[in-house]
Amino acid sequence: QVQLKESGPGLVQPSQTLSLTCTVSGLSLTSNSVSWIRQPPGKGLEWMGVIWSNGGTDYNSAIKSRLSISRDTSKSQVFLKMNSLQTEDTAMYFCANTPGDFDYWGQGVMVTVSS
């Protein structure tokens, strides 16, 4: 049974760095790719970036300068780090298995950027 679960702080101060973890079970990170996708309250979905099964990464050009995605295959975890957070980064953050489309999603973690 494939499961993804996001974890991280619910509140981040403006200009600070966001760190999130996606813990994966039921699939291997060396054979599967994982994306981060976010959704501001009441709005649509925005793909942020992906870590491919070979460890390479691709990022959304709009946030590329602030974003880093990495992984620890031994722990089946994928990490997101995004710096210089602003209020417009307030959103639900999801991780999702990425065979092309997004077939398995985590439940999401709500991140609020506020002082």
Partner 1 sequence: DIVMTQTPSSQAVSAGEKVTMSCKSSQSLLYSENKKNYLAWYQQKPGQSPKLLISWASTRESGVPDRFIGSGSGTDFTLTISSVQAEDLAVYYCEQYYDTPPTFGGGTKLELK
Applying CB under 8 A, the residues found at the interface with partner 1 are 35, 44-47, 50, 58, 60-61, 94, 100-103, 105-108
For residue 12, CA distances in Å to 50, 72, 90, 113 come to 23, 24, 9, 5
Nearer to partner 1 by Cβ, of 16 and 46: the residue is 46
CB of 87 to partner 1, least distance (A): 21
Nearer to partner 1 by Cβ, of 1 and 74: the residue is 1
Nearer to partner 1 by Cβ, of 16 and 110: the residue is 110
What three-state secondary structure class fits 39?
strand
**88 phi-psi bin (left φ>0, alpha ψ -120 to 50, beta other):** alpha
